[in-house]
Amino acid sequence: GDSVTQMEGPVTLSEEAFLTINCTYTATGYPSLFWYVQYPGEGLQLLLKATKADDKGSNKGFEATYRKETTSFHLEKGSVQVSDSAVYFCALIQPYTGNQFYFGTGTSLTVIP
Amino acid sequence: DSGVTQTPKHLITATGQRVTLRCSPRSGDLSVYWYQQSLDQGLQFLIQYYNGEERAKGNILERFSAQQFPDLHSELNLSSLELGDSALYFCASSRLDSQPQHFGDGTRLSIL
């Protein structure tokens, strides 16, 4: 079945460090891929998405590229801020054959000044 | 503000009881999704409704049920509650199937 695997956390970085959170997926066909972010005490917010191979999603300095050859959608940011501290979820959905979102387990990021 | 409203924000009850969680989707969204987030299971999809009809089912227990009303708001009913049902329950909505989902702030359910 379809699934998403994220790198284990927690991740702790200093401000202005480079961030990579790995995400790989298992799915048939051409799923759409998403990154959601959950700030403390809040619901999940869509961060970025990509709907086809080689698409790059970007938002708020975060980027992720849909790599079909490696079935990956790694999240990157060149310079993290304290305000980026949150839990990040990778997710996929099959646009035409299913309605269920498959979420990864989440990666907790803490950025220290 | 995602536009998805969940009530109540917090709920404390005892084992064996029944509770109802409510969700109002964003204006114009036809799909409503329910998720359970717990420390040991992560974020799990429970069930989806689309324009009043059940659309997809995930890891939803038989003690749990949901419905979507004509005004598109949805309720998740949890009965015969157990300690392990303590979790954050999120509702999300989207305009159509498979569109990015917008999440509410969740209802935190604590079973004593």
B43-75 residue pLDDT tens: 888 999 999 999 888 889 999 999 999 999 999
Residue A98 binned pLDDT confidence (cut-offs 50, 70, 90): low
* Contacts for B97 with CB less than 8 Å, ≥ 6 apart: A99, B31, B50, B55
Tell me which chain A residues have a C-beta less than 8 angstroms from the C-beta of B101: 46, 101
Tokens (6 digits) for A20: 């990579």
Query: Distance between CA atoms of B39 and B46, rounded to whole angstroms?
Result: 16
Please measure the distance between the N-terminal and C-terminal CA atoms of chain B and give it in whole angstroms: 31
Mutate to test the interface with A, among B7, B43, B88 (most CBs of A within 10 A): B43
Yes or no, beta carbons of B55 and A34 under 8 Å apart: no
Q: What mean pLDDT is predicted for residues B87-102?
A: 85
**Residue A11 contacts B where some CB pair is shorter than 8 Å:** no
Question: Which residues 42-61 of A are in CB contact (within 8 Å) with B?
Answer: 42-46, 49
